[in-house]
Amino acid sequence: MKKEENDAFSQCHPAVGFFFFVGAIGLGAMILHPLYILASGLFAVTYYCLLRGTRGLKTVALSVPVFLLLTFANPLVNHDGQRVLTYVFGRPYTYEALVYGMAIAGMLIVMLLWAGCYNAVMTSDKFMTLFGGVIPTISLLLLMVLRLVPNMIRKVAQLAGARKCIGRGAADNATKKEKALDSLNVLSALMTWALEGGVITADSMKARGYGTEKRSSFRMQKMKSSDIILLSVMAVLAAAIVRLIAGGGTAADYTPIMRITPVTGEHLAGFAAYCVFLSLPTVLYIKEAVQWRISRSGI
Amino acid sequence: MAHFEIRDLSFSYASAKGKLSLDSVSFDIQRGEYLVLCGRSGSGKTTLLKQLKPVLAPAGKRGGEILFNSAPIRALSERDQAAKIGYVMQNPDDQIVTDKVWHELAFGLESLGCDQKTMRARVAEMACYFGIQDWFHRDVANLSGGQKQLLNLASIMAMQPEVLILDEPTSQLDPIAASDFLNTVRKINLELGTTVIITEHRLEDIFPHADRAVVMDEGRVIADDVPRSIGKLLFEQRNPMFTAMPTPVRVFYGAGAEGKCPLTVREGRTWLSETFPNGAKTKSLPEEKDPAETGEPALTMKELWFRYEKDSPDIMRGVSAEVPTGSLYAIVGGNGAGKSTTLKAICGINRPYRGKIKVFGRPVEKYKSSELFSRCLAMLPQDPKSLFVKRSVREDLSEMNADRDRVQEIAELCRIVPLLDSHPYDLSGGEQQRAALAKVLLTEPRLLLLDEPTKGIDSFFKETFAGILSELKRKGVTVVMVSHDVEFCARYADMVSMFFDGQILTTDTPRRFFGSNSFYTTAANRMSRHVFSQAVTAEDVIALYGANREALA
């Protein structure tokens, strides 16, 4: 069983997931404040690892060298800043640019981690549930195209295997020209095959009344009251964060002069809202796990 | 009131230059009837079925008319056509439109613009009726062929049609999945009263249940009667369609018996018991000789182990076999048992992690790939289409061998000379199979591997195909085939092996092999095992019947 299936957040209505990820990624992209990036990173790593298990840890570990590379590379191209640490190729390598690099690299990796979580949570059918009703025809088209790709890959393998068994196809010692010519053969066969399949699929769609009426869209999930509560909580939090950003509470300049707004006083509430918002999936996950333990002990 | 009234219908394809594909076809289909439409490939069955659902009807010249519920079918709106006339096609894969099982079930309802509440109820209802609950949330890509076809049927039934038209729905399925599918169709007919019109090659399973059978040949209806009478009619006409009849029917008329013809194995058994109340005097045919040992085996497999991924289960678990040179060796066994995997292992597409494969006494890995696949080993894959890469059969064959005479010779052997200039995709299933075989034979193999060669081809093509195989055998070619088709293996193979649980369990001559099985055996054997022993084909039973009748007289 995949980890995602244990995840309470993934079980919520797709609108909840979609709103969350738009918030996490959209708001995150607007904030370059180190503390906010750190907070976002913390929750992204936790949730990503909860979803992906040990494989998730590996991805996180792999992102560390990327982070370091980006951090140290920034001062090589950005020479602004006041505190010069050293000179590389005769150009200044500044403290401000280094910190700036750290912030950009951190933000990028955090966004990528959130995107990874999005992929695990928002499967294609959830996307369809959400948008199938709004644009039924286009979303159907999209879905069919997405289905076509893995089908094609399978067929290429089948064609290549079949050709190998009659001694055709690119042999191990074939020249580049032979290989290229053979790929052309396989490609043309693939096209014929796909076209033929397409004709049948079109017939099958026609046979089931495609295009006779305005399409409706079947949705597997209903919105529950808990989903509505969650959505409202998220909306309030998001509004608070947007207000904070608009008010300059998350402003951070690095070069040429470093100016980072301190997180104190009135800004503290905004920061808390940001943390609570991002922690929602993790909190739900843990709450569900604890609840499950308790209810299971009663079985 | 008749559901469909077909009046003097004729049709010719736009490209056929006036040649009639349907020629003055007239018959009625009653409400709630289960009608089987049979005939050889290319006799006009599919053309007729498509006329019954005009949105699918191809372009061409049409004469006569079809009434649906007493009104011309052409006047039926597209919406009504979609909702009232369900149509299931041959290929399980290409009919599926979406990526999830639940979504596919709802597809037709979405097209008709149903509201959420109705859709929810209908989808749930269908999933339960067809036993789909367990794989309701799955991706369609992960379903088996049988499940896919069942899904196609369910997604059409979700629209609650009055008529269900099925065009060779089980030709791509293995026998077990096929009979499951046909049972479901029968259940729909019996429990819901849906009119069923079906074409099939596998008449064994549906003939006894059908209310009526219509036989077509060259676009004409040549017989239209209850199934029990059809056999007699075809036998008297010496019609080649007779070979497609269920085994009990073929045995009954082949043996020259009189009276009420048995349709099922059960009726066949009763008939034999009544004919020979004191048992048979000659119980079995003379013992068949073991194929002579011809020295070096063509293929040796020793303790092969294979799995697809590091931590997936083993598919081959110690496969061992020896195939004598010049024999036709058949491997039978359930679906997903690993038969095809074994063939791929011999060709080096799958590499076993343990064990040895020797081809003509030499380890397979010692061959260079150019050596192995020319004048030595070749495989005909399950889907013959995967071999065609050109625009005509001739071009495809020339790709293998530039020598025109040789191409002509092989084309003659495979009986595809008239098809040489057609596009490979325009051929019927049986024709494609033979064209693909021709292509494979142009590598001049001495060891030929066939993966399900009789899948989806009708009984005449099977006989032609068997003829080609025996001609190859005469030339000294060794053939190893993997098949679900026990009737074919019983009739034509020299040796039969049972593949089960990743191993080859038993190997014997077909008579002894099928004679000692009681479930996994041919209909002829199941029908006659209480009277004769080791009679595994209709011919065996007929011969023994004749011998014993003489003794009685």
Identify whether residues B377 and B515 lie together within a single domain: yes
Q: State yes or no: cis peptide before B161, omega within 30 of 0.
A: no
Q: What is the pLDDT of residue A239?
A: 95
Q: How many separate domains does chain B show?
A: 3
SS3 B303: strand
Å from B88 to nearest chain A CA?
Answer: 8
Based on the fold, state whether residues B381 and B491 are members of the same structural domain: yes
8 Å CB contact of B399 and A168: yes
Nearest to B83 by CA among B4, B152, B163: B163
Structure-token match 């080649």, residue found? B240
- From B231's Cα to the closest Cα of chain A, the distance in A is 34
Residues 207-266 of A with CB under 8 A from B: 207-220
Assess B121–A contact: CB distance below 8 Å, yes or no.
no
Give the distance from residue A4's alpha carbon to the nearest chain B alpha carbon, in angstroms: 14
Q: Do B109 and A150 touch (CB under 8 A)?
A: no
Nearest CA in chain A to B56: A203
**pLDDT value at position A5?**
58
Token output for B209: 């249940």
Burial B18-41 (b: 16+ CB within 10 A, else e): eebbbbebeebbeebbbbbbbbbb
Q: Are residues B305 and B272 in the same domain?
A: no
Residue B293 domain flag? no
Separation of alpha carbons B170 and B89, rounded Å: 9
Q: Which residues of A touch B156 (CB under 8 A)?
A: 207-208
Question: Are B19 and B162 in a shared domain?
Answer: yes
Amino acid identity of B328?
A: L
CA-based Rg of chain B, rounded to a whole angstrom? 25
The answer to whether position B252 is within a domain reads: yes
Based on the fold, state whether residues B339 and B467 are members of the same structural domain.
Answer: yes
**Is there a contact between A210 and B111 if contact means CB atoms under 8 Å apart?**
yes
Output the pLDDT for position B458: 83
End-to-end CA distance of chain A: 21
Burial class (CB in 10 A: 0-12, 13-18, 19+), B74: exposed
Contacts B109 to A, Cβ<8 Å: 216, 218
Query: Which ipTM was obtained for this model?
Result: 0.85
- With respect to residue B182, please indicate whether it lies within any of the assigned structural domains: yes
Is B349 close to A197, i.e. CB distance below 8 A?
Answer: no
Distances (CA, A) of B314 to B304, B310, B392, B506: 10, 9, 41, 20
Q: Are B378 and B355 in contact (CB under 8 A)?
A: no
Q: How far apart are CA A132 and CA A220, in angstroms?
A: 11
Q: Would an 8 Å CB–CB cutoff place B531 in contact with chain A? A: no
- Which two structure tokens, joined as six digits, stand for A69? 């590379």
Of the candidates B123, B383, B400, which has its C-beta nearest A218's C-beta?
A: B123
Flag whether residue A143 sits within 8 Å of chain B, measured between CB atoms.
yes
Question: B294 lies in a domain?
Answer: no
Tell me the one-letter amino acid at A2: K
Q: What is the pLDDT of residue B302?
A: 93
B344 within some domain: yes
Question: What whole-number distance in Å separates Cα of residue B522 and Cα of residue A217?
Answer: 48
CA distance B333 to chain A (A): 23
Cα nearest neighbour of A188 on chain B: B389
A-contacting residues of B 331-370, CB under 8 Å? 344, 347-349, 369-370
Clarify whether residues B396 and B256 are in a common domain.
Answer: no
**A292 CB near a chain B CB, below 8 Å?**
no
Residue A150 CA to residue B234 CA, distance in Å, equals 47
Q: How many CB atoms lie within 10 A of CB A111?
A: 18
Domain range spanning residue B541? 246-288+524-553
Same domain, B64 and B210: yes
Q: Residue B229 gets which letter from DSSP?
A: H
The amino acid at residue A32 is: L
SS3 B502: coil
Q: Which residues of A touch B111 (CB under 8 A)?
A: 205, 208-213, 215
C-beta neighbour count of B467 within 10 angstroms:
13
- Do B363 and B301 touch, CB atoms closer than 8 A? no
B365 vs B356: CA distance, rounded Å: 9
B181 with B207, same domain: the answer is yes
Residue B318 has φ and ψ, to the nearest 5°, of 85, 50
Separation CA B505–CA B490 (nearest Å): 17
Distance from CA of A260 to the nearest CA of B (A): 49
SS3 (DSSP) at B25: strand
Do A143 and A61 contact (CB within 8 A), yes or no?
no
The pLDDT value given to residue A110: 95
User: Is B83 among the domain residues?
Assistant: yes
Residue A165 contacts B, CB cutoff 8 Å: yes
Contact A80, A255 (CB under 8 A): yes
Instruction: Give the three-class secondary structure for B8.
Output: strand
* C-alpha B84: how far from chain center: 29
Model pLDDT, residue B8: 94
Do residues B215 and B268 both lie within one domain?
Answer: no
B257 shares contact with chain A (CB less than 8 Å): no
Q: Could you give the 3-state DSSP secondary structure of residue B198?
A: strand
Q: Which backbone phi and psi does B451 adopt, to 5 degrees?
A: -105, 110
The SS3 call for residue A250 is coil
* Closest C-alpha to B380, from B468, B499, B262, B488: B468
Nearest-angstrom CA–CA distance, B510 and B49: 39
The residue of chain A nearest to residue B91, with distances taken between CA atoms, is A200
Please report which confidence band the pLDDT of residue A7 belongs to, taking 50, 70 and 90 as the band edges: confident
Asked if B217 and B504 count as a contact pair (C-beta separation under 8 A), the reply is no
Same domain, B495 and B542: no
Taking the C-alpha atoms of residue A158 and residue B464, their distance in angstroms, rounded to an integer, is 27
The owner of tokens 């063509």 is: B298
Instruction: Note the pLDDT of residue B411.
Output: 92
Looking only at the bridges linking them, the beta strands covering B212-217 and B34-38 are parallel
d(CA A221, CA A128): 11
Question: Taking Cα atoms as reference points, which of B155, B184, B191, B190 lies closest to residue B170?
Answer: B184
Contacting A residues, span 192-211, partner chain B, CB-CB under 8 Å: 192-193, 196-198, 200-201, 203-211
- Would the CB atoms of B94 and A197 count as touching at under 8 Å? yes
The closest CB to that of A212, out of B112, B389, B443, belongs to: B112
| CB of B433 closer than 8 Å to CB of B457 | yes
Q: Which residues of chain B neighbour A166 with C-beta distances below 8 Å?
A: 373, 378-379, 387, 400, 439-440, 443
Tell me the C-alpha distance between B177 and B145, whole Å: 8
Tell if the CB–CB gap between B369 and A172 is shorter than 8 Å: yes
B67 forms beta bridges with B5, B72
Per-residue pLDDT tens over the stretch A124-173: 778 877 887 777 778 788 888 888 888 888 888 888 888 888 887 665 66
Question: Chain A: nearest CA to B370, how far in angstroms?
Answer: 6
B32 in the same domain as B119: yes
Chain A nearest-CA residue for B53: A207
* B58 within a domain of the structure (yes/no): yes
Sequence-ordered strand ranges (E) for B140-199: 163-167, 195-199
Q: Which residue reads 């890995």 in tokens?
A: B365
Q: How far apart are CA A124 and CA A14, in angstroms?
A: 11
Contact between chains at A204 and B399 (C-beta distance less than 8 A):
no
Cα-trace Rg, chain A? 26
Interchain CB contact of B222 with A (< 8 Å): no
Pairwise CA distance, residues B346 & B378, whole Å: 10
Hey, is the C-beta of B113 within 8 angstroms of any chain A C-beta? yes
Q: What are phi and psi of B282, to 5 degrees?
A: -90, 110
**Cα separation, B232 vs B238, whole angstroms:** 10
Angle at B404 between CA B399 and CA B407, to 5 degrees: 65
Q: State how far residue B42 is from chain A, nearest Cα, in angstroms.
A: 18
Measured between alpha carbons, how far is A186 from A164 in angstroms, rounded to an integer?
Answer: 12
Closest partner residue to A159 (CB to CB) among B56, B370, B386 is B386
Cβ B385–A204 below 8 Å, yes or no?
no
User: Which residues of chain A have a CB within 8 Å of the CB of B82?
Assistant: 206-209, 212
The pLDDT of residue A3: 47
Pick from B108, B348, B369: CB nearest A209: B108
Angle, CA B108 vertex, CA B105 and CA B114 arms, to 5°: 100
Given a contact cutoff of 8 angstroms between Cβ atoms, the answer to whether B480 and B448 are in contact is: yes
> Mean pLDDT per segment of 10 residues, for chain B of length 553 residues?
92 84 93 93 89 91 93 91 93 89 91 90 93 89 90 94 94 86 95 94 87 93 92 90 92 91 94 89 78 76 90 89 92 86 90 92 86 88 90 91 90 90 87 91 93 85 90 92 92 92 91 89 92 91 91 76
Per-domain residue ranges of chain A: 3-124+222-297, 134-207
Task: Give the closest residue to B388 by CA, choosing from A176, A153, A191.
Answer: A191
Q: How many interchain CB pairs under 8 A, A with B?
A: 168
Is there a contact between A204 and A196 (Cβ–Cβ < 8 Å)?
no
CB B27 within 8 A of CB B188: no
Q: Is B383 on the interface with A (CB under 8 A)?
A: yes
Q: What kind and span of H or E run contains B235?
A: helix B227-237
* Three-class DSSP category at A16: helix
Q: What is the pTM of this model?
A: 0.82
Q: Any idea what the CATH number is for the domain that residue B487 is in?
A: 3.40.50.300
Q: Does B136 touch chain A (CB under 8 A)?
A: no
Q: Do A209 and B103 touch (CB under 8 A)?
A: no
Instruction: List the 67-126 stretch of A: residues with Cβ below 8 A of B.
Output: 124-125
Region for A237 from its dihedrals, namely left if φ exceeds 0, alpha if ψ lies in -120 to 50, beta otherwise: alpha
Do B373 and A213 count as a contact with CB atoms less than 8 A apart?
no
Q: How far is A214 from chain B (nearest CA, A)?
A: 6
Q: Does B108 touch chain A (CB under 8 A)?
A: yes
Q: Looking at the structure, do residues B496 and B443 belong to the same domain, yes or no? A: yes
